[in-house]
Amino acid sequence: MRVTYYGQACTLIEAGEMKILTDPWLTEGAYQGTWFHTHVLADANVTPETIPKDIDYLFLSHEHQDHTDVRTLKHFRPDIPLLICRFSTPKFHQYLRQLGFTDIREVESGQPLDLGDGAKVTIFRTVEYTNDSAILVEHDGRRVFNETDCKLGYEDLGQIGRLGIDIGFYMFSGANWYPMMYEYPEDQMLDLVRRRRRSLLRSLVQRVRLTNPRLAVPAAGPCTVLDPALLWLNREERGIFVDPEIAVRTMREANLSSEPLYMAASDVWDSRTGFECRAPASFRAPRQEYIAAASERMAGSIAAAYKAESPAHADLPNLLPKFFNTLVGAQSPSIRKVINAKLAFHVLGPRGGTWTVDFSAPGPEFVRDEILPDWTYKVEIEDKLISPFVTGEEPFFEDLLLSLRFRCSRRPDLFNEPLYHFLYEADPEKLHNWYANRRNLD
Amino acid sequence: MPTAEISIKALPLDTPFAFETAGMKIVLVRTNEHVYAFEDVCPHAFWPLSAGTFRDGVLECPGHGWEFRVQTGQCHESPAYCLTPISAGIANGVVRLEWEAANTLEDRKNVLCPRPGKAAVNAGAEAISQLQD
């Protein structure tokens, strides 16, 4: 088998004659312009135009833009077979259908699928509320595991480990906005970041230990932020986006039986010939030096992209309340009680305003045109950024938060997971089943 | 109600300890003051907590770093989740463990607190007054 690494969770896995491409994100500036690859892919001549197109299957782990990138996907023929996990809702499937793909194959979690020519894939679904998955590819006694940034259960990881993995690609970094976008005093922020990074690296070590691959590659998770105004997010003491070389060092220090391997975009591993370094030398330059140079180089195009962003919808002040009234009103009283939040928005810009989504209101109006004094979660964001999410143009609300172009705070300072689930996918039946199964409803 | 016993001297100080009996997996944490006992499974992704770390009253899951306060069993960052407490009484240097039978494995994995934001009382915490080591 042979694997070419294209950054983040994107791997071209060649299993005999079969070619499987996973999570192709081959452009820069995902999530409203913020997310760049660890290294600018075009510098390694990795672009949607240049990568091989004779792909037999595309595997898409989940809907996040750094895994399912519309600008990359449009370079593939609409009838290319897409492999996705069977999730509890059809939202991801329907999204791919709307993009024009006609051959979408949903695979049951943990059920091997014979692709022919001796190649076999098994997709594993996350244990979390999200629609996320990982993939195992087997051929001729060799096995490649790509965890993407999916959080699998202990039993699935143990089962994968018992099979004997040749090379595994692992999530090694945080991929969200906590704690960086929150309002914390400096000392607390530094402590939270330090603890989060420590926890992420410990988790990496444990997952590698459990799956026990011969080679362990830190792959999915982080972004690099090249917007000059947000460069602080890349600093080790201020952000949770871990440098892959730190992940390799951590694995090495843990004395795992697996060999840690740093692969940069365009590097290759072959089961017969081993590792082949193909990435440009600049991809192995000291991290902060690389980021500073890349940011300087990209600053002009980032500024141009921001300038080209569409203004907010003229009717945003009516659309935002309508959007949340509909979503909250569709939930059962039990679910609203579980969420139990007062979600406040301070929207900046010409179509801005203040609103609070009150999950404890009797309904049918859940949105007030003010920030209630007892808000529990507050978001400050530009009108043009939130606008496409309440108009329906952007279907995945979490993408807005992943943009890192907002500030937020919460009272009390605790993770309200039901609120997060609601914002991730406010499907009433899915939410109800999730919490009913956990005996948390009236 | 199933029970089991373990010598308190078998429990390392401030270190999660795995104890399995009759198919029941239990994690014990002994501090200078208490012994805490829970089912040895994280409610998030079902990793064994006994492979995690313990510091400052917090048991950290090895899988994804979820943190649980042993005094309450409640998840620090996601308080909707709680560990399942095991009753732990101490007499004559022996920890006597007691738990509810007949829960399915799936039941045990998916434990949320009775109400979000409210801590579950850990019946497993018992003061150590007679430690002789």
pLDDT tens-digit readout, A373-395: 999 999 999 999 999 999 999 99
- Judge whether A304 lies within some domain: no
Contact B46 A202 (CB under 8 A): no
Do A367 and A419 fall within a single domain? yes
- Judge whether A15 lies within some domain: yes
- Judge whether A368 lies within some domain: yes
Q: What is the pLDDT of residues A403-412, one digit of tens each?
A: 999 999 999 9
Q: Give the closest residue to A3 by CA, choosing from A239, A283, A261, A284.
A: A261
For residues A101 and A94, what is the distance between their CA atoms, to the nearest angstrom?
10
The pLDDT tens digits along chain B (133 residues) read 889 999 999 999 999 999 998 889 999 999 998 999 999 999 888 899 999 999 999 999 999 889 999 998 988 877 778 898 899 999 899 999 998 765 544 554 445 554 333 333 343 445 554 443 3
For residues A138 and A143, what is the distance between their CA atoms, to the nearest angstrom?
4
**What domains are defined for chain B?**
3-127 (2.102.10.10)
Which residues in A lie closer than 8 A to residue B64 (C-beta atoms)? 151, 199, 203
Contact A154 B60 (CB under 8 A): no
* 3-class state of residue A394 by DSSP: coil
Q: Flag whether residue A254 sits within 8 Å of chain B, measured between CB atoms.
A: no
Which residues in A lie closer than 8 A to residue B48 (C-beta atoms)? 154
Q: Do B16 and B52 form a contact (C-beta atoms < 8 A)? A: yes
Q: What is the pLDDT of residues A225-251, one digit of tens each?
A: 999 999 999 999 999 999 999 999 999
Q: What is the pLDDT of residues A18-36, one digit of tens each?
A: 999 999 999 999 999 999 9
For residues A280 and A301, what is the distance between their CA atoms, to the nearest angstrom?
22
- Judge whether A228 lies within some domain: yes
Do A33 and A136 fall within a single domain? yes
Do A364 and A256 fall within a single domain? no
Which residues in A lie closer than 8 A to residue B39 (C-beta atoms)? none
State the pLDDT at residue B103: 53
Q: Give the closest residue to A167 by CA, choosing from A5, A53, A44.
A: A5
Tokens 């499937």, residue located: A93
Q: Do A7 and A38 form a contact (C-beta atoms < 8 A)? A: yes
Do A283 and A177 fall within a single domain? yes
Q: What is the pLDDT of residues A51-71, one digit of tens each?
A: 998 999 999 999 999 999 999
- Judge whether A308 lies within some domain: no
Which residues in B lie closer than 8 A to residue A200 (C-beta atoms)? 65
For residues A406 and A412, what is the distance between their CA atoms, to the nearest angstrom?
19
Contact B44 A154 (CB under 8 A): no
Domain end marker among A296, A326, A342: A296
- Binning pLDDT at 50, 70 and 90, where does residue A322 land? very high
In this predicted model, which residue has the larger pLDDT, B110 or A304?
Answer: A304
CATH number, domain of A336, equals 3.30.1050.10
Q: Do A355 and A367 form a contact (C-beta atoms < 8 A)? A: yes
State the pLDDT at residue B115: 35
- Judge whether A442 lies within some domain: no
Tokens of residue A218, six digits: 């830190």
Do A292 and A423 fall within a single domain? no
DSSP H/E element including A111: none
- Binning pLDDT at 50, 70 and 90, where does residue A441 land? low
- Judge whether A306 lies within some domain: no
For residues A132 and A128, what is the distance between their CA atoms, to the nearest angstrom?
8
Q: What is the pLDDT of residues A86-135, one digit of tens each?
A: 999 999 999 999 999 999 999 999 999 999 999 999 999 999 999 999 99
Do A235 and A353 fall within a single domain? no
| DSSP state at residue A42 | G
Which residues in A lie closer than 8 A to residue B63 (C-beta atoms)? 151, 154, 203, 206-207
Q: What is the pLDDT of residues A154-184, one digit of tens each?
A: 999 999 999 999 999 999 998 999 999 999 9
| Mean pLDDT over the full length of chain A | 96
Tokens 């690859």, residue located: A37
Which residues in A lie closer than 8 A to residue B45 (C-beta atoms)? 127-128, 151-154
User: Nearest CB to B45: which of A153, A202, A415?
Assistant: A153
State the pLDDT at residue A102: 98
Q: State how many domains chain A has.
A: 2
Tokens of residue A293, six digits: 């140079």
User: Nearest CB to B65: which of A153, A154, A200?
Assistant: A200
What angle (nearest 5°) sits at the alpha carbon of residue A400, between those of residues A399 and A403?
85
Rounded to the nearest angstrom, the minimum Cα separation between B56 and chain A is 13
Which residues lie across from A381 on neighbouring strands? A347, A406
Do A198 and A133 fall within a single domain? yes
pLDDT above 90: percentage of residues in chain A = 96
Do A292 and A177 fall within a single domain? yes
Contact A127 B45 (CB under 8 A): yes
State the pLDDT at residue B128: 55
Contact B62 A155 (CB under 8 A): no
Do A355 and A263 fall within a single domain? no
Q: Tell me, what's the ipTM?
A: 0.78
State the pLDDT at residue A442: 54
Do A254 and A364 fall within a single domain? no
- Residues near A414 by Cβ (< 8 Å), separated by ≥ 6? B77, B78, B79, B117
Contact B64 A203 (CB under 8 A): yes
Alpha carbon A149 to its chain centroid, in Å, reads 7
Q: What is the mean pLDDT of residues A5-10?
A: 98
Which residues lie across from A145 on neighbouring strands? A136, A168
Count Cβ atoms below 10 Å from residue B17 Cβ, excluding itself. Answer: 18
For A157, phi then psi, to 5°, come to -65, -40
For residues A281 and A380, what is the distance between their CA atoms, to the nearest angstrom?
41
Domain end marker among A296, A331, A350: A296
Q: Flag whether residue B60 sits within 8 Å of chain A, measured between CB atoms.
A: yes
DSSP H/E element including A337: helix A333-339
Q: What is the mean pLDDT of residues A134-159?
A: 97
- Residues near A169 by Cβ (< 8 Å), separated by ≥ 6? A5, A9, A11, A144, A145, A146, A147, A148, A217, A219, A220
Question: How does DSSP assign A227-251, residue by residue?
Answer: -GGGGGGGSTTT-----HHHHHHHH
State the pLDDT at residue B125: 47
Residue A205 pLDDT > 70, yes or no?
yes
Rounded to the nearest angstrom, the minimum Cα separation between A279 and chain B is 31
Q: Which residues of A332-370 are buried (b: 16+ CB within 10 A; e: fewer)?
A: beebbbbbbbbbbbbbbbebbbebbbbbebeeeebbbee
Domain end marker among A296, A324, A350: A296
Do A274 and A339 fall within a single domain? no
State the pLDDT at residue B126: 53
Q: At what angle do helices A186-211 and A244-253 cross, to 10 degrees?
A: 60
Which residues in A lie closer than 8 A to residue B51 (C-beta atoms)? 206
CATH number, domain of A80, equals 3.60.15.10
State the pLDDT at residue B133: 36
Using CA coordinates, name the residue in chain A closest to B51: A206
State the pLDDT at residue B82: 86
pTM: 0.93
pLDDT above 70: percentage of residues in chain A = 99
Question: Residue A139 sits in which domain range?
Answer: 2-296
Q: Do A39 and A74 form a contact (C-beta atoms < 8 A)? A: no
Do A16 and A143 fall within a single domain? yes
Q: Flag whether residue B16 sits within 8 Å of chain A, measured between CB atoms.
A: no
For residues A259 and A144, what is the distance between their CA atoms, to the nearest angstrom?
15
